[in-house]
Amino acid sequence: MEDFWALAVQLLHVWMFVVFFLIMLPSMFGLSLGVTGVYIQVLVHILEWATLRIQRGRQQQPSVPVPLPNGIIEHAGGSMEEEMGRLRSGSLAEGKFCLSDVFYFYNKGLESIVDDQVTQRFSSEELNSWNLLTRTNQNFRYISLRLTIIWGLGVFVRYCLLFPLRITLATIGLSWLVIGTILVGFLPESSVKNWLSELVHLTCYRICARGLSATIVYHNRENRPQKGGICVANHTTPIDVVILSNDGCYAMVGQIHGGLMGVLQRSMVRACPHVWFERSEMKDRHAVASRLRAHVAAKTKLPILIFPEGTCVNNTSVMMFKKGSFEIGGTIYPVTIKYDARFGDAFWNSSKYNMVSYLLRMMTSWAIVVNVWYLPPMTRQDGEDAAQFANRVKSAIAHQGGLLDLAWDGGLKREKVKDSFKEEQQKQYSSIIAGPKDQ
What's the rounded Cα separation, in Å, for the pair 312 and 121?
9
Q: Give the pLDDT confidence score for residue 14 in this predicted structure.
A: 72
In angstroms, rounded to a whole number, what is the distance separating the alpha carbons of residues 215 and 73?
35
Supply the range of the domain harboring residue 329.
138-425
C-alpha to C-alpha distance for 182 and 184, rounded to whole angstroms: 6
Q: Decide which of 85 and 186 is more confident.
A: 186
72: amino acid identity, one letter: I
Confidence of residue 284 (pLDDT cuts 50, 70, 90): low
> How high is the pLDDT of residue 339?
94
Using only C-alpha atoms, the chain has a radius of gyration, in whole angstroms, of 26
Whether 16 is in a domain gets the answer no
**8 against 402, higher pLDDT:** 402
Q: What average pLDDT score do residues 90-94 get?
A: 57
Confirm whether 263 is domain-assigned: yes
| pLDDT digit string, tens, across residues 329-352 | 788 999 999 999 888 888 888 778
Residue 425: pLDDT band (50, 70, 90) is confident
What share of the chain has pLDDT > 90, as a percent? 15
CB-based contacts of 22, cutoff 8 Å, min separation 6: 33, 35
In this prediction, residues 271-300 reach a mean pLDDT of 76
Residue 68 domain flag: no
pLDDT digits (tens, 9 = 90+) for 205-253: 988 888 888 889 999 999 999 888 899 999 999 899 999 998 888 988 8
> How far is the C-alpha of 84 from the C-alpha of 369, rounded, in Å?
44
pLDDT at 111: 67
Residue range 30-67, pLDDT digits in tens: 777 777 888 889 988 888 888 787 777 666 665 555 55
Task: Return the pLDDT at 352.
Answer: 81
pTM equals 0.79
pLDDT of 369 over the 80 cut: yes
More confident residue, 179 or 143: 179
Q: Which of 351, 341, 293 is nearest to 125 (CA)?
A: 341
Task: Give me the sheet containing 275-277, strands edge to edge.
Answer: 214-219, 368-374, 332-339, 230-233, 304-306, 251-255, 275-277
| Residue 50 phi, psi (nearest 5) | -60, -40
Please check whether residue 41 lies inside any domain of the structure.
no
Residue 259 pLDDT exceeds 80: no
pLDDT at 68: 47
The pLDDT value recorded for residue 144 is: 73
Give the whole-angstrom CA distance, residue 332 versus residue 377. Answer: 6
Q: What sign does the CA torsion over 357, 363, 364, 366 have?
A: positive
Interval 168-191 mean pLDDT: 87
pLDDT at 439: 42
Asked if residue 191 has pLDDT above 80, the reply is yes
pLDDT of residue 389: 92
Number of domains composing the chain:
1
Give residue 341's pLDDT: 86
- The confidence score (pLDDT) of residue 75 equals 58
Residues 94-122 have a mean pLDDT of: 68
Better-scored residue on pLDDT, 46 or 116 = 46
Q: Which residue has the higher pLDDT, 335 or 201?
A: 335
| Residue at 82 is within a domain | no
Asked if residue 80 is part of any domain, the answer here is: no
Indicate if the pLDDT at residue 393 is higher than 80.
Answer: yes
Instruction: Report the distance separating Cα 164 and Cα 21, nearest Å.
Output: 17
When comparing pLDDT for 145 and 115, which is higher? 145
What is d(CA 59, CA 63) in angstroms, rounded to the nearest whole number?
9
Q: Is residue 270 part of a domain?
A: yes
pLDDT, residue 333, reads 95
Q: Averaged over 85-111, what is the pLDDT? A: 67
With a cut of 70, say whether residue 76 has pLDDT above it.
Answer: no
Which residues, listed in sequence order, are joined to residue 217 by a DSSP beta bridge?
A: 371
Question: Which of 91-95, 107-111, 260-264, 275-279 shows the lowest per-residue confidence on average (mean pLDDT)?
Answer: 91-95
- Whether the pLDDT of residue 276 is over 50: the answer is yes
Give pLDDT tens digits for 397-410.
999 999 988 887 76
Structural domain contains residue 192? yes
CA-based nearest residue to 396, from 220, 217, 216:
220
pLDDT mean across residues, the chain: 79
Residue 130 has pLDDT above 70, yes or no: yes
